[in-house]
Structure 1
Amino acid sequence: MGRWGWTRPAPDVAQAGSMALEPQTRRERGPGAVLVTGGAGYVGSHIVLALRDAGYPVAVLDDLSTGDRNAVPAGVPLVRADAAHGEAIRGMIACYRVTAAVHAAAALDDTPATAAHNARMCARFVRACAESGVRRLVLTSSAAVYGAVPNCPIAEFRCPAPARPYGAGKLASEAEVREAFGAPGFGYVILRCFNVAGADPAGRAGPRAGKALVEAACEAALGLRGPVTVFGTDYPTRDGTCVRDYVHVADVAAAHAAALSALERGLGAATLNCGSGQGHSVREVLAEVAACASAGLAAGAGSRRPGDAPVSIAAIGLAGETLGWRPHNSSLGAIVRSNLDWTRNLHREAAAP
């Protein structure tokens, strides 16, 4: 999500409170809709798919500053507005009889200003939800809240110490959720997601930015961009490059659906890791991409980035105990193959006359 306040709706995007939404409202009703912010973005669009697959009616709020309205499935209402805009939020809650929310919207720029924006946006969104009668909420948080932890796997009881502004913004957002939804009668789940990668196995959604390692490596292997930069080759790891926990985006989306289900069954509050529980180095990721693509992959060495931890791997046992969730698609090979398939299809569509 980007700019504050309303943005002008595209011709096929509705505005909250419009009577034109009523036919869709009737179709989407039932037990009440789940409002997903950032539902046109990478992680958010997969969350929408998982919720729909689980039988939840869904409505999406996204300002489309980085999201793609084509990523929102047909039949899912999409309102173009910022997640901090109370009028839009309250209008959607009333129009779609929203009973639960997933806050996945966040700007990704790693600056203090963006971190503060994300925290303010979360505060306004969760307060508007709570004041409008929404009682269950899932927050898409990040492992960036932990910072550089000396020992892995990282368990949820570790005291957060963000090393970068983005992580500080997510930690502040967590505090806003606890304040707004920590009272009796409310329930929340905070999911601290590790390195999300891959694409929907059915080919319905996937990444478009090409900024994260797996995405960039797949584009490089397919000849769609130049060499990949490896930021730091002298870390105290098995091959000198950073080791990360890569979790398939479909597993992350399934964790959000499982969290909503657990809240419906009476779960009061939980802060949980969402990862694969396995670590892979940058060089291992590049080698896997090259093998799956059957192609060479050029990579150059760059300097370390400030705040990068040598190793970051999730302890995921608590998520299994609390939600009955575990990752099913998060082998490195499955992540890479799904991303390669998605990237090939995007390139074919772009090249088609």
Structure 2
Amino acid sequence: MSKLLVVGGCGYIGSHTVKYLLYKGHDVVVLDNLSTGFKESLLGGALIIGNCGNRKHLDRLLATHSFDGVLHFASLIQVGESVVNPGKYYLNNVVNTLTLLQALKDHQVGPLVFSSTAAVYGEPQTPLLSEDHPQKPLNPYGMSKLMVEHMLKDFSHAYGLRSVALRYFNASGADPLTRIGERHAPETHLIPLALQAALGLRGPLSVYGRDYATPDGTCIRDYIHVDDLAEAHLLALEYLWQGGETAAFNLGNGDGFSVQQVLDTIEGVTGYAVPFENAPRRSGDPARLVADAQLAKQTLGWAPRYATLPTIIKHAWQWEAKRPSVLSRPTKLSQPTKHYAA
């Protein structure tokens, strides 16, 4: 059993990863400021309320615990918001991560697994995106993640702090037992938006663009189950524990599904049609974004268990149907397990 620090462990992917780490017998400490995460999403482990950009918090935490590895999920993720408020994204995603890296280096804690994104690639130049695809982000969100990846390489070279950056494609789905699932405020991801529209919890879904160079004219994306992402994080840590070098890996199924295919699959799985309205294209939306994840499969031994779109949607549907009234953050959070004063 290893003792692990999960930064941002109350968020969507972080909480599912904590669930998997606990299932595999690891001791987990979560550091989260609850700005976008939810305390009730944690199924175990110790929760410490704090910000990874606060060096005093980090020094106290790292001096108190002896960690065998760190997983970092504490990023802002809304592409549109990053365009209108880039300073917020560079401060949280880049500056705060630099503070975390400096603290890990000074306390000799590692290795680190970092939550990155396919947004580091920008406009696709090939049908499948491999790790050596040119990196030209189209927005500050993607650029902030790419800047962190460069920092990780530099810290590895200069200080020996080895890391893995995991470049997610479209995270989706929920815990098959419906204990936790996708929960953002505001929600921006296609599958939960479509399911909530089908349940009548919001208005018609906006389909942005019907004139792309795809079979049905709508955008194609690679959807990857959140539990498969969670498993990849532990495999990445095990790779580093075994002496693996600093690296980046794509995480996706390698299959693309259009927006219309997602809507059709939702109707087939749930029996509910998704009300929608057509809208103009959004700036920066590529027609197709699909992963080549062979490197993760070969190097990490990663094999997605929930690779089909109907399975992903079934788990997401079970979660959404269970919590029809949860559409926004509570106005007041319950008391934290533990907190550090600023």
- TM-score, length-normalised on structure 2? 0.90
Structure 2 residue 175 is matched with structure 1 residue 200: yes
Letter in 1 for 2:167: R
How many residues get paired? 319
Shift of 1:185: 4.4
1:112-168 C-alpha deviation (Å, 9 max, x unpaired): 223312111111111211211112000000000001113121000112000111100
Structure 2 residue 216 is matched with structure 1 residue 239: yes
The answer on whether the counterparts of 1:246 and 1:332 sit within 8 Å (CA) in structure 2 is yes
Which residue in 1 is equivalent to 2:82? 110
Q: Any residues of structure 2 matched to 1:180-259 within 5 Å, and which?
A: 180-183=155-158, 185-209=160-184, 210-259=187-236
Shift of 1:243: 0.4
Q: Structure 2, unaligned stretches of length 5 or more?
A: 328-342
> 201-210 vs 138-147, which deviates more?
201-210
Which residue in 2 is equivalent to 1:6? none
Structure 2 residue 70 is matched with structure 1 residue 101: yes
Letter in 2 for 1:70: E
The answer on whether the counterparts of 2:67 and 2:110 sit within 8 Å (CA) in structure 1 is no
The answer on whether the counterparts of 2:105 and 2:159 sit within 8 Å (CA) in structure 1 is no
What percentage of aligned pairs have identical amino acids? 36
Instruction: Return the alpha-carbon distance in structure 1 between the equivalents of residues 153 and 4 of structure 2.
Output: 19
Q: Any residues of structure 2 matched to 1:1-353 within 5 Å, and which?
A: 31=2, 33-74=3-44, 76-108=45-77, 109-111=81-83, 112-117=86-91, 118-183=93-158, 185-209=160-184, 210-347=187-324
The answer on whether the counterparts of 1:141 and 1:170 sit within 8 Å (CA) in structure 2 is yes
RMSD, matched Cα: 1.6
Instruction: Return the alpha-carbon distance in structure 2 between the equivalents of residues 294 and 211 of structure 1.
Output: 23
Query: Could you say if the C-alpha distance between residues 203 and 183 of structure 1 is closer, same or farther in structure 2, counting changes exceeding 3 Å?
Result: farther
Ranked by relative contact order (alpha carbons within 8 Å, sequence separation 6 or more), the top structure is: 2
Secondary structure in 2 matching 1:36: strand
Query: Could you say if the C-alpha distance between residues 43 and 287 of structure 1 is closer, same or farther in structure 2, counting changes exceeding 3 Å?
Result: same
Instruction: Return the alpha-carbon distance in structure 2 between the equivalents of residues 134 and 280 of structure 1.
Output: 40
Secondary structure in 1 matching 2:324: helix
Q: Structure 1, unaligned stretches of length 5 or more?
A: 1-29
1:296-328 C-alpha deviation (Å, 9 max, x unpaired): 211111111111111000001000111000211
Instruction: Return the alpha-carbon distance in structure 2 between the equivalents of residues 179 and 346 of structure 1.
Output: 44
Instruction: Return the alpha-carbon distance in structure 2 between the equivalents of residues 297 and 160 of structure 1.
Output: 35
The answer on whether the counterparts of 2:266 and 2:273 sit within 8 Å (CA) in structure 1 is no
- TM-score, length-normalised on structure 1? 0.87
